[in-house]
Amino acid sequence: MGNKRVIVGMSGGVDSSVSALLLKQQGYDVTGLFMKNWEEDDDSQLCSSKKDYDDVARVCDQIDIPYYSVNFAKEYKERVFNQFVEEYRQGYTPNPDVLCNREIKFNVFFKKAIEQMGADYLATGHYCQNNDALLQRGKDPSKDQTYFLYTIKAKELSKVIFPIGHLLKSQVREIALQHNLATSTKKDSTGICFIGKRDFKDFLSNYLPLTPGKFETANGQVIGQHDGIAYYTIGQRKGLKIGGAGQAWFVVGKDVERNVVIVEQGEDHPLLYHKYLTANEVSWINKEPTLPLRCSAKIRYRAADAPCVIESSAKGSLVVTFDEPQKAITPRQSVVFYDEETCLGGAMIDKPFNDIKELCLN
């Protein structure tokens, strides 16, 4: 393997650090490549890439590999951030991680590593496994990241290595500690990188003027005022600031045209659950399967797999029928499909339904 060159996408975290270390131990010719995606817009460095790059440099010096930095802030803003803001403008709750993997990590970053720098492989610290260009779940079920990678294609996957996908997070930490890596005790990053520790509402208000509106029940009863429709997502309970007697309130829908957030009481309210959904922007990792297909699906990252059947609609989108109604199916989130341990692909959720007749009309 000594003549096989691998470029490791290094973020300054423990996962990519251990990925680089393991590849070096396995005899690959390893280079670290740090990707800067966001230009700081203040002096607080709440989403600071400088410290992360310093950590990359320290780890690479420790394991004796060269390292470089590339700036994709322009591409990130054009391909990820602008769409992020536009989705919120339309009243949706976007998932920038999926978009970042599709547009940046396994597109421009991949091309930089393989086509421009001449690497044989690109490696990342994702918790997933690559089995002959089949994307499979990581060994650690609490860290599996296949949900975010469903847009990758087999052609690219054949040149990608996930060095820690067969490990538990605790094992990754232990390896880092054993080798005294500079990132061994560094906390995992959470949330959206370009927001960092800033208040989400304050951040979003800089890019998207939001108008307060009404909280209404499904039958039109006004029960309060919201801060702006973009701040709320289907299934949300916390932060609504709706008092009164009875069970907790949940967001069950949005009327963007009227700037209304629709809420109902109780986590088992029937408006929170749907048996069907339509989805578009379909992406299969390998060849498109024959439909109808029985498999399982996740409607959000932390959701458990749910048995379902995928079919084609008359309009070319997918229709997903779950065995049991699913809670808080959210438009413009991803539905990701699995055949046991293998991630087949996914799509963007369009609408949830409960009546098959309603499906036929759309």
202-209: long-range contacts (C-beta < 8 A, 24 or more apart)?
204/85, 204/88, 204/230, 204/231, 207/85, 208/85, 208/88, 208/89
SS3 44: coil
Check residue 194 and give its pLDDT.
60
Q: What CATH architecture does domain 210-265 belong to? A: Roll (2.30)
SS3 61: helix
Respond yes or no: is residue 60 known to be catalytic.
no
Tokens of 37: 């995606």
- Kindly list the distances between the CA atom of residue 24 and the CA atoms of 3, 132, 163, 176, in Å, as whole numbers in the listed order: 12, 21, 11, 14
Question: Residues 47, 60, 100, 308: which is the catalytic one?
Answer: 100
Tokens of 205: 């208000």
Check residue 45 and give its pLDDT.
44
- Find the helix packing angle between 49-63 and 14-25, rounded to 10°: 20
Quote the strand ranges of the chain, DSSP E: 5-10, 29-36, 67-71, 121-123, 128-130, 135-137, 160-161, 213-216, 222-226, 249-255, 260-265, 273-284, 293-298, 306-312, 318-327, 334-339, 342-353
Q: Determine if residue 136 is left, alpha or beta; phi over 0 gives left, psi from -120 to 50 gives alpha, anything else beta.
A: beta
Q: Amino acid letter at 99?
A: L
User: Cα separation of 100 and 357, whole Å?
Assistant: 36
pLDDT tens-place values along the chain, 362 residues long: 557 999 999 999 999 999 999 999 999 999 999 998 877 654 444 457 788 999 999 999 999 999 999 999 899 999 999 999 999 989 898 888 999 999 999 999 999 999 999 999 999 999 999 999 999 999 999 999 999 999 999 999 999 999 999 999 999 999 999 999 999 998 887 666 666 666 777 788 888 888 899 999 999 999 999 999 988 999 999 989 998 888 999 999 999 999 999 999 999 999 999 999 999 999 999 999 999 999 999 999 999 999 999 999 877 799 999 999 999 999 999 999 999 999 999 999 999 999 876 665 44
SS3 263: strand
Residues sharing a CB contact under 8 Å with residue 217, sequence separation 6 or more, in sequence order: 223, 262, 263, 264
Query: Which part of the chain has CATH 2.40.30.10?
Result: 272-360
Specify the length of the chain in residues. Answer: 362
Check residue 361 and give its pLDDT.
47
What are phi and psi for residue 181, nearest 5 degrees?
A: -65, 145
Check residue 17 and give its pLDDT.
97
How buried is 210 (Cβ within 10 angstroms: 0-12 exposed, 13-18 middle, 19+ buried)? middle
Which residue is associated with the tokens 């966001």? 38
What is the CATH number assigned to the segment(s) 272-360?
2.40.30.10
Cis status of the peptide bond prior to 292, with omega within 30 of 0: yes
Query: Which part of the chain has CATH 3.40.50.620?
Result: 5-178
User: Cα separation of 61 and 159, whole Å?
Assistant: 26
- Find the helix packing angle between 169-178 and 14-25, rounded to 10°: 70
Tokens of 351: 């609408």
What is the CATH number assigned to the segment(s) 5-178?
3.40.50.620
Query: Which part of the chain has CATH 2.30.30.280?
Result: 210-265
DSSP 139-184: S-TTT--GGGGTT--HHHHTTEE-TTTTS-HHHHHHHHHHTT-TTT
User: Cα separation of 31 and 91, whole Å?
Assistant: 42
Check residue 196 and give its pLDDT.
60
Residues sharing a CB contact under 8 Å with residue 54, sequence separation 6 or more, in sequence order: 12
Question: Residues 47, 60, 128, 193: which is the catalytic one?
Answer: 193
